[in-house]
Every structure is written in C-alpha cells, then in structure tokens.
Copies of this chain bind each other. A is one copy, B any other.
Amino acid sequence: MPHTMLRCSECQIYHMPDMKTLGCESCGAPLDVEYIGDGGEQSGFRPPGWTGPNIPLPVHTSDAFVTLGEGGTPCVPLTNLSKSLGLTDLIAKLEFMNPTGSFKDRGTSIMMSVAREQGVREIVEDSSGNAGASVSAYAAKAGIKAHIFAPAAAPAAKLQQIKVYGAQTHAIEGSREDTARAAVDYCAERGLVYASHNLSPYFIEGTKTFAYELFQQFGDGIPGDIVMPVGNGSLFIGAWKGFSELRRADLLTSMPRLHAVQASAVMPLAAAYEGVEWKREPGSSTIAGGISVGDPPRLKQCLRVLQESGGVALAVDDDAIRDWHRRLAEVEGIYAEPTSAAAFAGLERLAAEGRFGKDGSVLVAVTGFGLKDAPPA
C-alpha cells in the first residue's frame, strides 16, 4: 500500500502517486511527495549502510531500491580559501564524488526506484548533461530502457557519458527548451513515462538526503550558511525539504540560510529575488551549463526557500566563474565543473558584503566533476 500522495506545490491539491503525474491537474504547478499516516516511518525502507535518523522515502522495499552507491560524499575544510575570504570555517561538500560524477545521482536513485516499483519499463528524460548521464546509468542498473534528449551543443564528455551507459540518445538542435519540448512530444506520441529530473517529485525526495548527511556529520551544529549553484533547483529545494523534516523531528534547533548562485546570462531566480523583470537575451550563454535554465518550473518553490531560510540569490559573470574554476583547483585541489565554480564566485561576493551569519561557518555544494565539462582554456 502506498504511504505517499503527491501534493501540488501551489494549490495544495492531492493526487495519487504515479510516475506519470508530473503536474497539478488543477493549476499545472509541479508536485511534491507527501507522506501519509506514519509515512516514511512505516515504509520499512532504509537505504543500506545508512546509520543516521530515519529518512522518509517513497520506496517500499529494498528489492526495488536502485543504487550505485550514491551519497555519503565528504565534507572537506577549505582552509586555504577560508583565510583569504575572511571566513572562520569554509567547507565544501564534494557532491561530484557520486557514481556518475554529480549530485543528480541522489535524485535519480530514488526516482528510478519508484519507477521500478511502479513497473515502468521505458522512460524519457531531457538534460543538458549531468541528469542525462545519471538517468542513463541508473536505467542500465534497473534494467529500464531510457531515451535521453540532449541539446546537440552539450559538452562532448557529457554526451559521451550518456551514451556509454546504453541509453538511446536524441541530440536536438536549438535551445534547451527545444530539447525539453522534443522529449515531451516523444512521450506523448509513444505513451512513455517522462522521468523529468525537473518535474518528478521523486527526484527531490532523493536530493533531500544531502540535508540528512549534513545532520549526520555535524549534528545540530550544521553550518549556518549553505551556498549552491541553482538552475532548476532540485538540490536547493530537496535540501530545504530535508532540513525542514529534521526541524520538525526536533533534531535541528535552527535552520541554515540557503543561498542560490546563478550565471548573469541566465538568472531568472536572482532577478525574481530582486523583484526585477528578466528575459533571456537572444544568443546569450554561460559556461555554467548546469544552471543555464531560463524558465525553471519550480521557480516559485526556490523563491520560497530563499524567503523561509533568509538566503540570498545572486548572479555572477562567466569571467568570475572561469577564475574560480581555476582558483578552486590550484588552491584547494578541487576540480569542479564551471557550474559548481559559480557557487564560489557567489560565495566571494556574499563574504565581501558580510551576508553570512556571525558564526562564520559556510558550506558550499560542489555539484559536478570538472572532468565532465572542462571550460576552454
């Protein structure tokens, strides 16, 4: 028996849990998983090896669980950088140390587990890279056929990685939005499940393990400020959901501030946060491909996380991203993809503006591996 429902993130209407339901039947907004009754407590599923507090998850049995060893990423003190930025404690959570090289594996693991439980045999996903590779890998593990739609202009190493796991790739000319439309059309034509990492409520249930791991490592003393690159915001929203659950379980006495960093060329969230109009300049682009999302479907939810947590959204330009990409590797030995370097460019500005809490403890999510998307020298 399912222990979850899907609830509209805006009008709060409930829907039955189904991989095919990706938007509210009433208002069209994205859905979230909500646990009913004893919910997660009663689901009986606990990820193998996990020794922290119970994590409510939409998976019922260990048999259905699709895992490649995601999560459990290390937190590394950035002692060289913290001094130069005037911070007491600067910590990086190395999310690129996931099985396919990005944080997406957290979300994909749970999304594909639910797909397997629901008997799904074939899925469609669209991605500019990291999510496509992740879904391709977990689909291989789960024995589910995957179609990945990707922009023809995505980085070669990312496209290569999507292919290597055996997904059928569909390279689409045009914008990121054209790719998404092609995927939706393909699903509609063939009656397939659209396993969208942006829309699927199950994906976010996986990313929330980020928060539980921080609690397991730091206990009630988690860093007061957390900085992330934000495109679609799945880690941003998922982490906040995790912290909120920990708070409700009386395990956290205070919540961290969550800060969102975007690229100047593609900054819908930073603009909405500042209350200014924003439209993407035709032909504008950024080297931070993972956050090059002009119209994120969960924008309102990201804004609520900023508001509830007291965080800031800001945008940084590609020169700063390039500079931080180099600096992070040369000063701290961390080879991040440009998307993750953007978070450090944002961090630098937030530190200079004195936006961090008085305890001075700041954590940055390093979301993707530089091997996947090295910027031009």
Contacts and interface: CB of A to CB of B under 8 A. Distances in A.
Interface of A: 49, 67-69, 72-76, 80, 94, 97-101, 136-141, 143, 157, 160-161, 164-166, 217, 326, 329-335, 369-372, 374
A375 to B, nearest CB: 10
Given A68-B74, A97-B99, A101-B371, 12 more contacts: A69-B73, A69-B74, A69-B97, A74-B99, A136-B333, A137-B335, A157-B371, A164-B329, A164-B335, A165-B329, A165-B333, A369-B369
B374 A334 contact: no
Given A166-B330, A335-B165, A372-B371, A72 B74 contact: yes
Given A161-B371, A370-B164, A140 B72 contact: no
A278 B29 CA distance: 67
Contacts of A374: 160, 164
Contacts of A371: 101, 157, 161, 369, 371-372
Q: Which of A161, A217, A334 has the most CB of B within 10 A?
A: A334
A72 B72 contact: yes
Nearest to A78: B141
Contact of A166 (B73, B139, B329, B372): B329
Given A331-B140, A333-B141, A94 B69 contact: yes
A80 to B, nearest CB: 7
Nearest to A140: B333
A169 to B, nearest CB: 13
A331 B144 CA distance: 10
Contacts of A98: 97
Contacts of A139: 333
Contacts of A161: 335, 370-371
20 contacts: A67-B76, A69-B75, A72-B72, A74-B99, A76-B99, A99-B333, A99-B334, A101-B371, A136-B333, A138-B333, A140-B330, A140-B331, A140-B332, A157-B157, A164-B329, A164-B370, A165-B330, A166-B329, A166-B330, A371-B372
